[in-house]
């Protein structure tokens, strides 16, 4: 019975399709083509499109699967490589920065007429009241006490005793007991730059109230102390007020950033006192 | 015997239908004898005979009408199949169900016929329900008559023959 129903259904379907095809063969579309032809083309084009889509999908899926098989290893490898490159980049940055500093030092060295020696800061002072640093040059390199130490930004300080064979200590200009002969570059008003507590850490003393000193004026070494080379920048006037006595109250912002010193130049020209001592000997 | 009945019914209905072309209502023929024959055959012999008869009768009608060959065949194949299936599933031996089947078959056939013509762009789909209803009722009545004639006709003829033989015997004795 079921078989009969099935056969009846197939027969009905076959007859209907046959007659639909018969009708389609006689009817034309608005474009003039046969409906049968148009429908056949449409159906086959859909089938082709579907088949192509399936093939493409399968190929893409397979390709992606194959591509994904090694992605874990690739990912790990790439992560390692990125890590290495980041480290290398940091090193390159460090080198570039170092090169810049060295270039600046070299430029300074070129500018300087005196004989200088490049030195690296190897330590600071753990005692904040004594503002000194240690450099990797000593008597073996010709470094003696009271030699001036400079940096691209200006004067750093002077070598203080004792001087080691391959290292020496530098008293920074901002130390409370440090001092340097200074003049205001614009007006040539002279005085003494001394270290001070507070911010800014430099003060200019012994400048007459009559002197013309304004904020922003450059203060340079006068050279009268026999240590620091004349004309080298000490800093800029930050505040200049008329003092109670004879002298003005002047604060100076140092030209050197003492908090980030890494490379310095030691002026190998012996200080005048040392020369005199040598001559007296 | 069955094949002869089917062929005879279809041939006769097609021939008669072509001679009744002048009998129209609202542009449509008021009776569709081929459809009546198809429904009759489907109800009498089942869906296979119904759809085959519908296809043959419809194609013949299409050929004679000069339109698109296949649309009438398609409609009558579907109607023959549906009526045959329903006739095999339900008891349709009394007059009212048969009348309903004829009316429904006519409606389905006419609507499908118009829809297919509209689909192929032959003419717009504008079903004339009143005309279709008239045709459906006429078809239904004609179908009932056909059933009556076919089912009761031989019995009545035999009874008449029996009556005439009885009167002859009485005269002899």
User: How many CA atoms, within 13 angstroms, populate the side-chain half-sphere of residue A132?
Assistant: 17
Distance CA B99, CA B76 (A): 18
The partner residue sitting opposite B120, judged by closest CB among A12, A19, A27, is A27
Given a cut of 80, whether residue A105 has pLDDT beyond it is no
Distance to chain A for B74, nearest Cα, Å? 6
The partner residue sitting opposite A19, judged by closest CB among B52, B55, B120, is B55
Of A117, A243, A202, nearest to A168 (Cα)? A117
Given a cut of 80, whether residue A272 has pLDDT beyond it is no
- Residue A157: which pLDDT band, with cuts at 50, 70 and 90? very high
Residue A34 DSSP label: B
pLDDT, mean of residues B6-30: 71
User: Is the alpha carbon torsion for A249, A255, A260, A263 positive or negative?
Assistant: negative
Given a cut of 60, whether residue B21 has pLDDT beyond it is no
Residue B66 DSSP label: T
pLDDT, mean of residues A214-234: 89
Q: Would the CB atoms of B120 and A19 count as touching at under 8 Å? A: no
Instruction: Look over chain B and give the mean of its residue pLDDT values, rounded to a whole number.
Output: 83
Chain B residues touching A19 at Cβ < 8 A: 55, 59, 70, 73-74, 77
User: What SS3 class is residue A229?
Assistant: coil
Distance CA A235, CA A152 (A): 12
Distance to chain B for A63, nearest Cα, Å? 46
Among the ranges A126-130, A152-156, A217-221, B92-96, which has the highest mean pLDDT value? A217-221
Q: Would the CB atoms of A26 and B55 count as touching at under 8 Å? A: no
pLDDT, mean of residues A100-116: 72
Given a cut of 90, whether residue A262 has pLDDT beyond it is no
Q: Would the CB atoms of B71 and A15 count as touching at under 8 Å? A: no
Q: Can you point out the beta strands (E) in chain A?
A: 116-124, 132-135, 148-151, 154-163, 168-172, 179-184, 190-195, 202-205, 218-221, 233-241, 249-254, 263-267
B68 touches chain A (CB under 8 A): yes
Chain B residues touching A12 at Cβ < 8 A: 47, 51, 77, 81
Tell me what percent of the residues of chain B surpass a pLDDT of 70.
Answer: 89
B55 touches chain A (CB under 8 A): yes
Given a cut of 90, whether residue A76 has pLDDT beyond it is no
B66 touches chain A (CB under 8 A): no
Least confident of A118-132, B64-78, B141-155: A118-132
* Contact assessment for residue A237 and residue A216, using Cβ atoms and an 8 Å cutoff: yes
Given a cut of 60, whether residue A242 has pLDDT beyond it is yes
Q: Does A169 or B166 have the greater pLDDT score?
A: A169
Residue B23 DSSP label: -
Q: What is the pLDDT of residue A36?
A: 67
Q: Would the CB atoms of B70 and A12 count as touching at under 8 Å? A: no
Q: Does A178 or A272 have the greater pLDDT score?
A: A178
Distance CA B84, CA B48 (A): 7
- Residue B108: which pLDDT band, with cuts at 50, 70 and 90? very high
Give CA A200 to chain center in angstroms. 26
Given a cut of 50, whether residue A99 has pLDDT beyond it is yes
Q: What is the pLDDT of residue A125?
A: 67
Chain B residues touching A27 at Cβ < 8 A: 68, 120-122
Q: What is the pLDDT of residue A2?
A: 46
Tokens for A243, please give them. Answer: 């003092």
Radius of gyration of chain A (CA): 44
The interface residues of chain B toward chain A in range 132-161, judged by CB-CB distance below 8 A, are none
Given a cut of 90, whether residue B81 has pLDDT beyond it is yes
Q: Would the CB atoms of A22 and B73 count as touching at under 8 Å? A: yes
Q: What is the pLDDT of residue A112?
A: 56
Given a cut of 60, whether residue A151 has pLDDT beyond it is yes
Q: Does B58 or A107 have the greater pLDDT score?
A: B58
Least confident of A6-15, A205-214, B102-111: A6-15
Give CA A108 to chain center in angstroms. 22
Distance to chain A for B67, nearest Cα, Å? 10
Tell me what percent of the residues of chain A surpass a pLDDT of 70.
Answer: 83
Among the ranges A1-5, A32-36, B110-114, which has the highest mean pLDDT value? B110-114
Distance to chain A for B131, nearest Cα, Å? 26
Give CA B42 to chain center in angstroms. 9
- Residue B126: which pLDDT band, with cuts at 50, 70 and 90? confident
The ipTM estimated for the assembled molecules is 0.76
- Chain length of chain A: 281
Q: Would the CB atoms of B78 and A20 count as touching at under 8 Å? A: no
The pairing of beta strand A179-184 with beta strand A132-135: unpaired
pLDDT, mean of residues A60-68: 79
Q: Does A279 or B6 have the greater pLDDT score?
A: B6
Q: Tokens 């009485």 — which residue? A: B170
Given a cut of 50, whether residue A12 has pLDDT beyond it is yes
Distance CA A277, CA A72 (A): 75
Distance CA B15, CA B22 (A): 14
Distance to chain B for A44, nearest Cα, Å? 21
Chain B residues touching A22 at Cβ < 8 A: 69-70, 73
Residue B47, burial from CB neighbour count under 10 angstroms (0-12, 13-18, 19+): buried
């Amino acid at each position: 019975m079921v078989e009969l129903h099935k056969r009846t259904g197939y027969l009905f379907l076959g007859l209907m399709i046959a007659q639909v095809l018969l009708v389609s063969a006689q009817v034309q579309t608005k474009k003039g083509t046969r409906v049968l032809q148009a429908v056949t083309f449409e159906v086959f084009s859909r089938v082709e499109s579907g088949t192509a889509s399936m093939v493409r999908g399968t190929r893409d899926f397979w390709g992606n699967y194959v591509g994904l098989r090694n992605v874990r290893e690739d990912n790990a490898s790439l992560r390692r490589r990125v890590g290495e490159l980041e480290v290398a980049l940091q090193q390159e940055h460090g080198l570039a920065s170092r090169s810049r500093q060295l270039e600046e030092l070299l430029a300074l060295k070129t500018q300087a007429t005196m004989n200088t020696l490049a030195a690296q800061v190897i330590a600071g002072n753990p005692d904040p009241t004594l503002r000194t640093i240690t450099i990797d040059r000593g008597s073996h390199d010709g470094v003696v006490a009271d030699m001036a130490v400079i940096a691209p930004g200006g004067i750093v300080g002077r070598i203080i005793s004792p001087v080691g064979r391959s290292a020496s200590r530098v008293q920074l200009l901002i130390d409370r007991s440090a001092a340097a002969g200074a003049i205001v570059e614009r007006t040539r008003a002279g005085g003494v730059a001394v270290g001070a507590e507070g911010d800014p850490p430099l003060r200019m003393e012994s400048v007459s109230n009559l002197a013309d000193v304004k904020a922003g004026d450059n203060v340079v070494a006068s050279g009268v102390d026999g240590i620091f080379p004349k004309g080298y920048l000490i800093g800029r006037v930050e505040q200049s007020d008329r003092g109670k006595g004879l002298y003005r109250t002047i604060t100076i912002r140092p030209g050197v950033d003492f908090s980030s010193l890494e490379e310095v130049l030691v002026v190998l020209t012996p200080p005048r006192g040392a020369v005199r001592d040598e001559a007296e000997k | 015997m069955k094949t002869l009945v089917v062929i005879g019914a279809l041939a006769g209905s097609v021939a008669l239908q072509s001679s009744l072309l002048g009998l129209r209502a609202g542009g449509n023929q008021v009776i569709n004898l081929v459809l009546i024959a198809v429904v009759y055959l489907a109800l009498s012999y089942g869906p296979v005979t119904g759809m085959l008869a519908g296809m043959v009768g419809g194609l013949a009608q299409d050929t004679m009408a000069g339109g698109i060959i296949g649309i009438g065949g398609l409609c009558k194949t579907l109607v023959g199949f549906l009526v045959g299936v329903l006739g095999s599933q339900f008891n349709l031996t009394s007059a009212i169900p048969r009348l309903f089947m004829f009316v429904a078959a006519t409606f389905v056939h006419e609507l499908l016929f118009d829809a297919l013509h509209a689909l192929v762009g032959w003419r717009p789909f504008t079903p004339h329900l009143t005309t279709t209803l008239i045709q459906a009722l006429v078809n239904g009545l004609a179908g009932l008559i056909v059933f009556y004639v076919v089912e009761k006709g031989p019995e009545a003829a035999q009874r008449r023959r029996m009556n005439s033989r009885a009167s002859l015997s009485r005269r002899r004795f």
